Amino acid sequence: MLTSFPILSTLIWLPIIGGLLVLFAGRNNDTVAKWLSLGTALATFILSIPLWTGFDTTTASMQFVEQVPWIPTFGVQYYLGVDGLSMPLVLLTTFTQVLVVASAWEVIKDRVEQYMGAFLIMGGIMVGVFAALDSILFYVFWETLLIPMYIVIGKWGGPRRVYATIKFFLYTFFGSVFMLVAFLYMFYQSGSFSILDFQTMPLGMIAQILIFLAFLIAFAVKIPMFPVHTWLPDAHVEAPTAGSVVLAAIMLKMGGYGFVRFSLPITPDASMSLDWLVILLSLIAIVYIGVVALVQSDMKKLVAYSSISHMGFVTLGMFVLYDILEKTGSIQGAQLGMEGAMVQMISHGFISGAMFLAIGVLYDRMHTREISAYSGVVNKMPWFVMFAVLFAMANVGLPGTSGFVGEFMVIMSSFKANIWFGTLAALTLIIGAAYTLWMVKRVFFGPVTNENVEGLQDLNKREFAIMATLAVAVVALGIYPNPLMEVMHTSVENLLVQATTSKL
């Protein structure tokens, strides 16, 4: 059966090896580099589908497990597996990977093989992050990922790329060091690096608080949360299109994933006593960052801030459970928030990816991202604008698109926790619409006011295919989110039990 086939290892190593192959075979031959990359990405995606079809929704335990010793002296294992929380994220990664390769097709002309190779390797590493069940393995993937991203922004980035890469690297590196310390502490306490062992080991309150804070710093930087968010807009602005897509669609999700894999199950008591901090930062993200997004003049910056704001829903949805428990005495209603957070991550992967790809389409033609450089794009690119408006509406959280599902669930759940949480979160209905549609108005609508816009060509077939794929994903998830929910239910229920069971 498929279970004996090391599917997760394949998803990690196939793109990495493929990427290395592209580096060598594709040198001086862009066509080979491109097709080999696309083939690898497609093969990875197709091979990841059995994760979905062969997934057992009745159990919360890890599936597709692979476990072999790696560094026996320290008990470090090569230990992989997925549950309902990580499996959708793995699929999101492999799916995005295909689009990323396709998006660079004729846009990147300089060292194509290195560019493609870097993204393929990144794809494998990202699957590794979501599939690793050994904390050291996780940490290795987590940190290694920075290197290809660093190279991509530093090599193919914009004019201020040096500043952006250093900021990006130092921020994320600074954050994850604390996480490593936490892992080492727990290893000394439990004698194991297995994340599942961490989840079951008893921990004192002070240790929990310190570990929780260490995790918080690591994940808050990644998501990113206020006030450690300023690296993201800079990184996005300087990154090439595909870099932004990977950054927004997948890398940010690692922070959210960290909370459900580490913080909540490993330090439930600390999570309960410090939930207010996460909730506060989430609400700041939703409201404050939304207002900041409104006044951005660079499209990528605007969408970057919008990403931060939307990720606020993820963290809010994950941490309202304790207030619900305290207020009503049961966790009825918390599942909605937790699942909403997970759906929001997947949905945001589609939407932010689509938004950055759309900006990339314009940037490739005009070489500017300034909103004021555009006007009336619809007159020249009607198909493109049709997709762009759809994605914008998804960003606004319109029902029928995936953007609505998570926001709706989190608003419901947080309202149950506290009327004011729900009220502040719901402000996104107004703020999100304001910054997104104001940009839509200025860029896409209105008369054509300059020659550059006058000369724009509508989407080519490749771009059309990318946009259409994402459009289908966004609408399908919006109209029928239940299949995704069913995958998550058991794992989320298990997580809620873990998060509310004291470890003291």
Partner 1 sequence: MLHTILTIILVAPLIGSMIAGLFGRQVGRAGAHYATIAGVAISTVLSFYVFWLYVFNGAAEYNASLYTWMVSDGIRFEIGFMIDKLSATMMLVVTFVSLMVHIYTIGYMDHDDDYDHHNPYYQRFFSYISLFTFSMLSLVMANNFLQLFFGWEAVGLVSYLLIGFYMKRESAIQANLKAFLVNRVGDFGFILGIAMVFVYFNTMDYNEFFAQLTSQRDVMIEIMPGVEWSMMTLMLILLFVGAMGKSAQMPLHVWLPESMEGPTPISALIHAATMVTAGIFMVARLSPAYELSEVALTVVLITGALTAFLMGMLGLIQNDIKRVVAYSTLSQLGYMTAALGASAYAAGMFHVLTHAFFKALLFLAAGSVIIAMHHIQDIRQMGGLKKYMPITYWTMLIGSLALIGFPGFSGFFSKDSILLALGESERFGATFAYVLLIMGVFVTAFYNFRMFFLVFHGEESEYVKTHKIKESPAVVTVPLILLSIPAVLMGLPMIEPMLTGQYFGDAIQVLEQNDTMMAVYNNYYHGVLDMILHSFMTLPVLLALSGVFLAWLMYIKQPNIPAKIKSMCPRGYYVLDNAYGFDRLNEIVFVNGTRRLGEFFTRVIDIKMIDTGMVTNTFMAVAHSAQALRQAQTGYLYHYAFVMIFGLLAMLVWVLW
318 binds partner 1 (CB under 8 A): no
209 binds partner 1 (CB under 8 A): no
Among 32, 42, 140, 412, binds partner 1 (CB under 8 A): 412
393 binds partner 1 (CB under 8 A): yes
221 with 75: CB under 8 angstroms? Answer: no
Instruction: Using the rule CB under 8 A, give the single segment among 26-34, 94-102, 421-429, 454-462 that binds partner 1.
Output: 421-429
C-alpha triplet 353, 404, 63: angle, nearest 5°: 70
d(CA 235, CA 272): 33
339 binds partner 1 (CB under 8 A): yes
CB of 319 to partner 1, least distance (A): 16
Of all helices (H) and strands (E), which one includes residue 66?
A: strand 63-71
Q: Residue 95 or residue 288: which is nearer to partner 1 going by CB? A: 288
Among 89, 422, 467, 499, binds partner 1 (CB under 8 A): 422
323 binds partner 1 (CB under 8 A): no
Q: Residue 272 or residue 393: which is nearer to partner 1 going by CB? A: 393
Site for partner 1 in 433-452 (CB under 8 A): 433-434, 437-438, 441, 444-447
Site string for partner 1, 269-288 (x = CB under 8 A): -------------------x
CB of 224 to partner 1, least distance (A): 11
303 binds partner 1 (CB under 8 A): no
Instruction: Using the rule CB under 8 A, give the single segment among 10-18, 177-185, 206-214, 236-244 that binds partner 1.
Output: 177-185
Number of residues in contact with partner 1 under rule CB under 8 A: 69
129 with 102: CB under 8 angstroms? Answer: no
CB of 102 to partner 1, least distance (A): 22
Is 491 exposed, middle or buried (CB count within 10 Å of its CB: 0-12, 13-18, 19+)? buried
- Residue 310 to residues 19, 89, 280, 346, 378: CA-CA distances in angstroms? 32, 17, 15, 12, 27
Q: Residue 40 or residue 428: which is nearer to partner 1 going by CB? A: 428
Smallest CA-to-CA distance from 178 within 210, 133, 140 is with 210
Site for partner 1 in 138-157 (CB under 8 A): 143, 147, 150
430 binds partner 1 (CB under 8 A): yes
Among 166, 201, 280, 373, binds partner 1 (CB under 8 A): 166
Instruction: Using the rule CB under 8 A, give the single segment among 53-61, 113-121, 206-214, 329-337 that binds partner 1.
Output: 329-337
248 with 236: CB under 8 angstroms? Answer: yes
Smallest CA-to-CA distance from 97 within 14, 211, 6, 193 is with 14
Among 17, 180, 196, 207, binds partner 1 (CB under 8 A): 180
19 with 116: CB under 8 angstroms? Answer: yes
Q: Residue 45 or residue 215: which is nearer to partner 1 going by CB? A: 215
Amino acid at 426: A
d(CA 504, CA 502): 6
Among 39, 191, 202, 227, binds partner 1 (CB under 8 A): 227
Of all helices (H) and strands (E), which one includes residue 238?
A: helix 231-238
295 binds partner 1 (CB under 8 A): yes
Q: Which contacts of 428-432 are long-range, i.e. CB under 8 A and separated by 24 or more positions?
A: 428/286, 428/287, 428/290, 428/309, 428/313, 428/397, 429/397, 431/286, 431/287, 431/290, 431/291, 431/293, 431/294, 431/309, 432/290, 432/306, 432/309, 432/310, 432/395, 432/396, 432/397
Among 354, 408, 466, 487, binds partner 1 (CB under 8 A): 408
42 binds partner 1 (CB under 8 A): no
Among 49, 173, 200, 364, binds partner 1 (CB under 8 A): 173
CB of 7 to partner 1, least distance (A): 27
383 with 464: CB under 8 angstroms? Answer: yes
CB of 245 to partner 1, least distance (A): 24
39: left (phi over 0), alpha (psi -120 to 50) or beta: alpha
d(CA 334, CA 317): 8
Q: Which residues, listed in sequence order, are joined to residue 79 by a DSSP beta bridge?
A: 67
Q: Residue 379 or residue 500: which is nearer to partner 1 going by CB? A: 379
Q: Residue 429 or residue 465: which is nearer to partner 1 going by CB? A: 429
Query: 461-479 and 87-103 are packed helices; what angle lies between their axes, rounded to 10 degrees?
Result: 160
- Residue 167 to residues 130, 195, 218, 304: CA-CA distances in angstroms? 25, 30, 15, 15
Instruction: Using the rule CB under 8 A, give the single segment among 57-65, 70-78, 208-216, 393-401 that binds partner 1.
Output: 393-401
Enumerate binding residues for partner 1 (CB under 8 A). 143, 147, 150, 166-167, 169-170, 173, 177, 180-181, 184-185, 188, 227, 230, 288, 291-296, 332-336, 339-340, 376, 378-379, 382, 393, 398-400, 404-405, 408-409, 411-412, 415-416, 419, 422-423, 426-427, 429-430, 433-434, 437-438, 441, 444-447, 479-482, 485-486, 489
